[in-house]
Amino acid sequence: MSAPVTSPAGAPQDGSAPVPDAAPDEGDRSARVGPAVGRGRRRAARWLTVGLGVALAVLTVVSGMTGQVPVSPAEVLGSLAHHLGLDWGPMPSHPQGENALWVVRFPRVVLAIVVGAALACSGALMQGVFGNPLAEPGVIGVSSGAAVGACAVIVTAGALVPGTWVAAAAFLGGLVTTFVVYALARAGGRTEVVTLVLTGIAVNAFAGGMLAFFTFVADPAAREQIVFWQLGSLGGATWKSVSIVLPIAAVGVTGAMLVRRRMDLLALGERAAQHLGVDVERLRQLVIVLVALLVSAGVAFTGIIAFVGLVVPHLVRMVCGPSHRTLIPASVLGGAVVLLAADLLARNAVANVELPLGMITSLVGGPFFFYLLRRTRSRQGGWA
Amino acid sequence: MSDLRHEGSSFLGSLRAAVTGARRRSRLPGPSAPGEVVTAARGVSLTLGAAPILRDVSVDVRAGELRALLGPNGAGKSSLLAVLTGDLDAEAGDVVVDGRALGAWTPTELALRRSVMLQHVSLSFPFTAVDVVRMGRSPWRGTPFESEDDVAVAEAMAATDVEHLADRHFTSLSGGEKARVALARVLAQRTALLLLDEPTAALDLKHQELVLQLARAHAAAGGAVVVVVHDLSLAAAYADQATVLARGRVVADGAPRDVLTAELLTDVYDYPVEIVDHPGGGAPIVLPRR
């Protein structure tokens, strides 16, 4: 009982790590009334990128230090340098230090970075293609859909099924769900908030039923894996899982970077975007595939980690405006920072107990979702 | 020219086009001679659900003219515009743009030839007004005309009187301000053909006049404009040509002075209408009989 009580208090400090970085830029927003908004936003974007880069580096070192085997910051950097072929800095003094870093902690750090980046990027893409700021893989059920795909494979092929199969099944589940939600929730080129949220409820309910069914029929080993899936955790990180997730996420992020200029035009609505020369049909099919790729990368080995895709793009928009040219790359960085920070919290909030990561992101993200919902409702049509 | 289309036919070509947004070389528009047909609908019919919306409609839009599309609500004005833009596919008849069938152009190539202002302007995210106007330049990316971007945006914003709104969030603007920013976006696109669906609906008296003066000037400079308006006096004052639609058919087509007769309008609007000569000798004024 005490564990869940302490974490929400601790969560805002660490779970929303980019906020302190964003704070200096908030000062720039006072200049927004002036004529230099465009320049101010660009400057904010640059500062945000630098801030997030620094935060990512610091969090990587801190994650390397933290755990049962003590490793000093200099030793973390030294070990990293040695593996890059540089004879620089001290190696870990603890006999298990090197192992702790390279077998346990670094795969986890890399997986956190990749998964966080993939989830935030998918959220930004989804909000753009739905024309709705509340779209998010967890909220509208795409994560659950991917989870159903993965669990179906785990149950039918047993708990020792190869990771690539799980990832492929998660991709298929995510793709089908994204298409279904897209087809159901849209009318006239955009998605009303109410329709989107209701569709999310329906999809999540159905996916929940499927997951319950799989939990019911599964043998104990598979059942354990399914439960772990629904909580969301980076505990199972290995270099093998990284090697499967990283290329998928890389393809997704690269695709997102290539289409990001045209995503801005979709904000005008489909007809207007088409009038400006965007092949809307083709673009949205491509984006849906990218979203499914990114979500499957985001859940295949870590389970459902909700709200990262919602919170991160919104914080980025608040700092440097809605243009996807900056939104996509900044969300990728921001997602990595947020998930790395959240995982650090999950590992250390309670001594000797690892909290589920998905629980932490939901405890922070849920209230944020409420806040956004209120804000969007109070200014109809004005998605700020 | 035809080799450009071949590039997109292979799988890799279409994949690359999907990713890069068909940024292969577009056929750039050339100048049109005055009086040349810029776009045309020929024998177009359209049915939505069970209701016939357009029946055998033909319209030619020529370089140098400002054509008003007139008619009561539900007459098919917006639908005709949607057929001309390619948003709706006609069941029968052809649409021609710049000498070719509509379908022979890529979306980008069409965007280099005609810009469209829709009746309802919405925006999903809080871009600033100047960001929105700048979106009008996107079809020109990768062409030699990209260098005109800043000038085109500045000129369009000056012309529509929205410079002071540049840094406001589009979503926070009033209806009329939004309409003018949307028009600035359309002008910044710098196409020969402008298709404007009720651009004056939300505007005050001054800006209504301003918008039609802009349209007039665009036509005088060799462009072509199709504008849907409900204010018949405004149309009479500014349009070179008027097309009157009723129940999906063209019922009159010609110079406003010839087309806008009391009998025709009374019949079309199903309400008594009278035409009054302007005391100063200007364009006729159309009034409902009160």
Predicted pLDDT of residue A292: 87
Q: Is the pLDDT of residue B278 over 90?
A: no
Helix (H, G, I), strand (E, B) or coil at A276: coil
* Cβ atoms of A167 and A245 closer than 8 Å: yes
Residue range B40-98, pLDDT digits in tens: 999 999 998 888 899 999 999 999 999 999 999 989 999 999 999 999 989 999 999 99
Residue range A328-343, pLDDT digits in tens: 999 999 999 999 999 9
Q: What's the topology of domain A111-378?
A: ABC transporter involved in vitamin B12 uptake, BtuC (1.10.3470)
What's the average model confidence in pLDDT over B118-141?
Answer: 91
Residue range B184-208, pLDDT digits in tens: 999 999 999 999 999 999 899 999 9
For residue A293, the surrounding DSSP H or E stretch is: helix A280-299
Q: Which one of B22, B107, B132 has the shortest CB-CB distance to A274?
A: B107
Q: Is the pLDDT of residue B110 over 50?
A: yes
The DSSP symbol for A89 reads S
Residues contacting residue A250 through CB under 8 Å, at least 6 positions apart:
none
Is B266 buried (19+), middle (13-18) or exposed (0-12) by CB count in 10 A?
middle
Complex confidence, ipTM: 0.88
Residue range B23-39, pLDDT digits in tens: 557 888 888 888 899 99
Is A215 buried (19+), middle (13-18) or exposed (0-12) by CB count in 10 A?
middle
- Select from B4, B47, B21, B269 the least CA-distant residue to B142: B21
Predicted pLDDT of residue A25: 37
Residues contacting residue B101 through CB under 8 Å, at least 6 positions apart:
B94, B95
Residue range A1-17, pLDDT digits in tens: 333 333 333 333 333 33
Q: Which one of A190, A272, A323 has the shortest CB-CB distance to B118?
A: A272
- Select from B219, B242, B220, B246 the least CA-distant residue to B231: B242
What's the average model confidence in pLDDT over A312-320?
Answer: 89
Query: Could you write out the DSSP letters of every residue in B176-206?
Result: HHHHHHHHHHHHHT--SEEEEESTTTT--HH
A321 in B contact zone (CB under 8 Å): yes
Contact A37 B135 (CB under 8 A): no
In this prediction the pTM is 0.83
Contact B124 A255 (CB under 8 A): no
Predicted pLDDT of residue A16: 37
Predicted pLDDT of residue A91: 86
Predicted pLDDT of residue A17: 35
CA separation for the pair A35, A29 (Å, rounded): 12
Predicted pLDDT of residue A29: 34
Q: Is the pLDDT of residue B126 over 70?
A: yes
What would you report as the CA-atom Rg of chain A, rounded to the nearest whole angstrom? 21
- Which domains does chain B possess? 36-125+191-288 (3.40.50.300)
Domain ranges of chain A: 111-378
Two tokens, residue B143:
């062409």
Q: Which one of B86, B123, B130 has the shortest CB-CB distance to A267?
A: B123
CA separation for the pair B138, B124 (Å, rounded): 18
Predicted pLDDT of residue B18: 59
Contact B124 A131 (CB under 8 A): yes
Quote the distance between the C-alpha of residue A19 and its chain's center: 16
CA separation for the pair B256, A91 (Å, rounded): 88
Predicted pLDDT of residue A373: 75
Two tokens, residue A320:
């440097």
Angle at which helix A324-348 crosses helix A357-378, to 10 degrees, equals 140
Residue range A182-231, pLDDT digits in tens: 888 876 556 676 787 788 889 989 998 998 999 899 888 888 878 877 78
CA separation for the pair B42, B34 (Å, rounded): 21
Q: Is the pLDDT of residue B177 over 70?
A: yes
B287 in A contact zone (CB under 8 Å): no
For residue B132, the surrounding DSSP H or E stretch is: helix B129-135
Question: pLDDT-based confidence at B100, cuts 50/70/90?
Answer: very high
* Cβ atoms of B134 and B188 closer than 8 Å: yes
What's the average model confidence in pLDDT over B217-234?
Answer: 94
Q: Which residues of B touch A132 (CB under 8 A)?
A: 124
Helices and strands (DSSP H and E) totals, chain B: 11, 12
Q: Which residues of A touch B113 (CB under 8 A)?
A: none
Q: Is the pLDDT of residue A374 over 90?
A: no
